[in-house]
Structures are given as structure tokens and as C-alpha cells.
Amino acid sequence: MLKWARTKSPWLLHFNTGACNGCDIEVVALLTPRYDVERFGIKLEPSPRHADVLVVTGPVTKQCAPRLKMIYEQMPSPKFVIAVGACACSGGIFQDCYNISGRLDEIIPVDVYIPGCPPKPEAIVQGVAKLLGKLKG
């Protein structure tokens, strides 16, 4: 029953660690009538304390890394992280820049990677579905 409740109601917190806003637009597109992820019980929550899933877009800049860690620590467990976009997965075209502290999974543990620049909303839905499949075990 617990597993059922968790897979039916994942609440997202969206955090931008220095993305170009391309992935952010695609994440927000999930809430529009065309994709409407509320069908699956997915809601975008304003506060990290309410959220189950942290959706991170963008390469992690040096300034952002401690803040990202703080937000991750503020979330109540069980918590999951999705890396959206090529930058969050690997650093993308910015990976060796002077102001980038590294890939997302060098800072916090990541459960699902969704590559693409930017990934299509369908791809993000599939990524979330994979995470839910992982939850079911």
C-alpha cells in the first residue's frame, strides 16, 4: 500500500543549477494541458520540504553546488533525484569550464538520467515513469 501511494503521488521540486532555461521550459511544459502530468498524481511543489523528487536542470556551477546540497538535505526521505538534460547528466558543453564544479552525480546521488538538449517532454515523462518503475521494485 505504501509503495502504491508513493508511486501514485510523486511531488516534484524543480531546481535550476545554471541551465540555459531550455530544459526548464520543457519541465514546465509537463504541467500544460498537452502533457498534464497531474494525471499521474505528479505535482510541482514550491518548497523542498514538501517534495519527493528533485528535478535538476543544468550543469552544476561552483556557486550553486553548496545550495544544491542544502536543498537536497532539506528534503524529507525517501527522496529521489532526476537529472534532466545533457548538462545535468554530464556537464554537457560546459563540462570543462572554469566555473563548473562537475557533473550532478558528483555532488548528490542521482536516480534517473534524462539526456537531451533539451529532452522532449515525452522523454521526461518516460524518465519519471522509469523512476516510478524503480520504486515499485
Which lies closer to other proteins via its Cβ, residue 81 or residue 86? 81
2 near other proteins, judged by CB under 8 A: yes
135 near other proteins, judged by CB under 8 A: no
Alpha helices in 30-120 (DSSP H): 65-74, 86-90
126 near other proteins, judged by CB under 8 A: no
Q: Strand, coil or helix: what is 5?
A: helix
Applying CB under 8 A, among 21, 25, 28, 38 the residue interacting with other proteins is: 38
Which lies closer to other proteins via its Cβ, residue 11 or residue 115? 11
Question: How far from chain centre, in Å, is Cα 1?
Answer: 25
Beta strands in the chain (DSSP E): 11-16, 43-44, 53-57, 60-61, 80-84, 100-102, 112-114
> What does the binding site for other proteins look like in residue numbers (CB under 8 A)?
1-2, 4-6, 8-9, 33, 36, 38-41, 45-47, 49-50, 52, 74, 76-78
